[in-house]
């Protein structure tokens, strides 16, 4: 990549966003996607110390469920392999939720409080301690902070004429984001049907070179902005390492 890339947000939220990146190659776009999935480390529960479990579920099953609870992971505060201890002590009748987990570090909390862990009946109790470890998605899927990451070419729509007035107008389905006279328009705004956006018109659709629209959703370990920034940083670090290795 020989020039600076440009980023423009189309939809922007803490956990879900859509943004356009210009002046990047397909290889670099795919590198960003892979880095968001595999390279950005998150905290996830890895081991349990069960004090009491009189529920109907085995310790291993509870450990699996707890490992899938996203935990907030402040960027730069931990190194891979660091651990944070959380505890859980719930008695029935009632449901144990992720929000019942008590963390030893106030920066590390369940990203959502309403994830059910187990239903407890009268007289049943679940008490345990759990160690969350910082790891990356390339080692285990539970560390993937980017739960839905994809990209498409930005496409430009050009009106080339009028339809035959006696011809039947058929749906023309297109998904993603189009550029129409300089405006970025998500296709869901016209039900993914170009015939609704351009009624009675003949249009041509072209890929915009080196321009990609990303749809990114975070599991809550961090914001989309933090996820993307860390992914790009990881690519930069690996490129620097490769450059140094070649010069040796």
The pLDDT, as a whole number, for residue 2 is 41
Q: What is the pTM of this model?
A: 0.83
Q: How is residue 181 annotated by DSSP? A: T
Determine the pLDDT at residue 1.
43
Cβ neighbours, 10 Å, residue 216: 23
Q: For the chain, where do the domains classified as CATH 3.30.1360.10 start and end? A: 4-38+144-233
- Report whether the peptide linkage leading into residue 93 is cis, meaning its omega lies within 30 degrees of zero: yes
Q: Of all helices (H) and strands (E), which one includes residue 84?
A: strand 83-91
- Ranges of residues in the chain whose predicted pLDDT is under 50: 1-2
**173 contacts: CB under 8 Å, gap ≥ 6:** 192, 193, 194
The 3-state secondary structure of 163-176, one letter per residue = CCCCCCCCCCECCC
Is the CATH number 3.30.750.80 carried by domain 4-38+144-233?
A: no
Q: Name the CATH superfamily, with its identifier, for domain 42-135.
A: DNA-directed RNA polymerase, insert domain (2.170.120.12)
Could you give the CA distance from residue 141 to residue 227 in angstroms, rounded to a whole number?
16
Identify the pLDDT of residue 3.
52
For residue 4, the model assigns a pLDDT of: 72
Q: Are 173 and 192 in contact (CB under 8 A)?
A: yes
Domain boundaries for CATH 2.170.120.12 within the chain: 42-135
- Residue 248 has a pLDDT of 59
Work out whether strand 146-162 and strand 177-180 pair parallel, antiparallel, or are unpaired: parallel
């Amino acid at each position: 990549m020989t020039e600076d890339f440009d980023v423009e947000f189309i939809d922007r939220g803490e956990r879900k966003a859509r943004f356009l990146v210009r002046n990047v190659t397909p290889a670099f776009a795919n590198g960003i996607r892979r880095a968001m999935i595999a390279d950005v480390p998150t905290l996830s529960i890895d081991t349990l110390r069960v004090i009491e479990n009189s529920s109907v579920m085995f310790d291993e099953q509870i450990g699996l469920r707890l490992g899938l609870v996203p935990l907030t992971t402040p960027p730069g505060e931990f190194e891979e392999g660091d651990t944070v201890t959380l505890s859980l002590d719930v008695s029935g009748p009632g449901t144990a939720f992720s929000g019942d987990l008590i963390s030893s570090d106030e920066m590390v909390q369940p990203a959502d409080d309403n994830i059910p862990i187990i239903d407890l009946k009268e007289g049943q109790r679940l008490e345990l301690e759990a160690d969350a470890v910082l790891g990356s998605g390339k080692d285990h899927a539970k560390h993937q902070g980017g739960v839905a990451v994809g990209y498409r070419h930005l496409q430009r729509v050009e009106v080339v004429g009028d339809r035959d007035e006696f011809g039947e107008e058929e749906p023309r389905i297109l998904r993603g984001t189009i550029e129409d006279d300089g405006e970025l328009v998500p296709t869901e705004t016209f039900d993914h049907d170009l015939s609704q956006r351009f009624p009675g018109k003949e249009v041509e659709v072209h890929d915009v070179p080196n321009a990609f629209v990303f749809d990114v959703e975070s599991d809550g370990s961090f914001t989309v902005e933090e996820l993307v920034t860390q992914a790009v940083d990881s690519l930069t670090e690996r490129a620097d390492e490769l450059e140094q290795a070649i010069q040796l």
